[in-house]
Amino acid sequence: MISKKNEVNRLSHDSNCIFCKIVEGVIPSHKVYEDDNVLAFLDISQVTKGHTLIIPKEHSKDVFELSEETAAKLFSAVPKIASSIKQTFNPIGLNLLNNNGEAAGQSVFHYHMHFIPRYGSGDGFGAVWKTQDLPADEMAEIAQTIKENVKN
């Protein structure tokens, strides 16, 4: 049987990463879900009541480093955690948020997603962006370029 400490060592981790230290048990957290590959815990800075983070135990800096296998394991836990938050707090909505890169607001460079329960206007969270209406030919060109660069 592999001990939890040896299991963590088997996975890729960064000794300077706060989330890797949480996975190792060096830094405490308020865990809400854990399996062999995924850990979910309350965000230390609660935006709304029940604000939860989910991380892969294996260190990946961002979505660009995340393997398909790790993503599949992580995302298989997402509905479980979302349903638990809904059952527990009965929010009127839920934002799933992921920032990749400093310019996108990422502050901890270990892939993670935020579950932010929503309770109505003034609940502490706001996301505003300005949309653009692009011509159909430009949309087609953008879509084709992205399609050509998708790696199978």
Please state the domain extents for the chain.
4-149
139 Cα distance to chain centroid: 28
Q: Residue 11's pLDDT is what?
A: 62
Whether the predicted pLDDT of 5 surpasses 90: no
Give CA–CA dist 89/86, Å, rounded. Answer: 6
Active site residues: 112
> Average per-residue pLDDT in the chain?
92
pTM passes above 0.85: yes
Per-residue tokens: 63 = 């979505």
Cα atoms in the 13 Å half-sphere on the side-chain side of 140: 3
Architecture of domain 4-149: 2-Layer Sandwich (3.30)
Give the residues across from 54 on adjacent strands: 40, 113
Edge-first strand listing for the sheet containing 113-118: 31-34, 38-42, 52-56, 113-118, 93-97
Each residue's pLDDT tens digit, 83-138: 999 999 999 999 999 999 999 999 999 999 999 999 998 999 988 889 999 999 99
